[in-house]
Structure 1
Amino acid sequence: MTTDLEGGDWMRGISVQQPHAACLLAGAQTIVNSPRAWSWRGWLLLHAGQQIDRAALRAPWVARTIRGRELPTGAVIGVARLTGCHQDPDGSPPCTAFAQPGAWHLEVSDAQALALPIPARGQPGPWRPTEELVDQVLQQLPNVRP
């Protein structure tokens, strides 16, 4: 199978620590904190990074969300659509419980989990996946299209 557009032309990757990656796939988390704004919009491969945010595991709402879920690391575990990017105004309450003050908040929706995680290397910031990686994802999620 080949994509309509070369891998990376219509999809990007983002590496997110667990348990945040699992919370995104569960729909409980709708933003990803970023040090800079992203102008790009579209499908994202959700890559669970090698590190686990141990402090986040102790938050009650995170614990409820991930209960019974595996927390794979070092793999693409799903996709989501990047729909917007914003910063909370100074002095305002955070947009969600996951929002870090001063960070840019990447707004994601339509998260879909892969049945089988695909081992892969991520990188900081947005990255372009290979055509082979996109094809592996589309074998599991054939309805994801530009």
Structure 2
Amino acid sequence: MSIAPLPDGDWIRGISIRQPYAACILAGAKTVENRPTRWRTGWVLLHTSKTVDQPALRIPLIGRTIRGRHLVTGAVLGIARITDCHQDPEDAQPCSEWAHPGAWHLVLADVQALPLPVPARGQVIPWKPTQDLVDRVFQQLPDFRP
């Protein structure tokens, strides 16, 4: 029995996230990513930008989540599925302790960490990965099918 091939075309994007936030997502604790604009739902490569948000390391919620984790930068570290993108109503409770008021909240599910980082360049906006990058990522996830 063979596994169906991954789809061709425009089915996956990249999202670049600063550390330590990416580590919190990969740990399974942070299920909401904050962005200034709306994003479409679907699969994304979880890419870490080259910089670490140093002040964020002092936030207790983050410190508890990343304790003992190495903060890799400049690489794809996993994949996730954006299942929803919304803004909380002005006077409502945030949808998550990770949600920032006024931001668009990308709700992440099906997060899978890669065994090894795949070095890559990303962008702040949703970016289209090269086929070579997609191939290198999914070599590490041979049973994955969207």
Alignment of 1:96-135 (within 5 A): 96-135=96-135
Matched, 1:90 2:90: yes
Supply the RMSD in Å over aligned alpha carbons.
1.3
Deviations 1:88-141 (A, max 9, x none): 110222222221111100000111111110110000111111111011111101
Deviations 1:7-62 (A, max 9, x none): x5111100000011011011100011111111x22211000111211222111121
**1:143 aligns to what SS in structure 2?**
coil
* One-letter code aligned to 1:99: A
User: C-alpha separation between the residues in 1 aligned to 2:119 and 2:139?
Assistant: 15
Larger RCO: 1 or 2 (CA < 8 Å, sep 6+): 1
**1:56 aligns to what SS in structure 2?**
helix
* One-letter code aligned to 2:19: Q
The aligned residue for residue 5 of structure 1 is 7
Following superposition, the deviation at residue 142 of structure 1 comes to 1.6
Alignment of 1:29-48 (within 5 A): 29-38=30-39, 40-48=40-48
Following superposition, the deviation at residue 70 of structure 1 comes to 0.8
Percent identity between matched residues is: 59
Structure 2 spans left out of the alignment, 5+ residues: none
The aligned residue for residue 61 of structure 1 is 61
TM-score after normalising by structure 2? 0.92
**2:118 aligns to what SS in structure 1?**
strand
TM-score after normalising by structure 1? 0.92
Q: Give the 4+ runs in structure 1 shifted more than 6 A.
A: none
The aligned residue for residue 16 of structure 2 is 15
**2:70 aligns to what SS in structure 1?**
coil
**1:49 aligns to what SS in structure 2?**
strand
User: C-alpha separation between the residues in 2 aligned to 1:11 and 1:145?
Assistant: 12
**1:94 aligns to what SS in structure 2?**
coil
Following superposition, the deviation at residue 144 of structure 1 comes to 2.2
Structure 1 spans left out of the alignment, 5+ residues: none
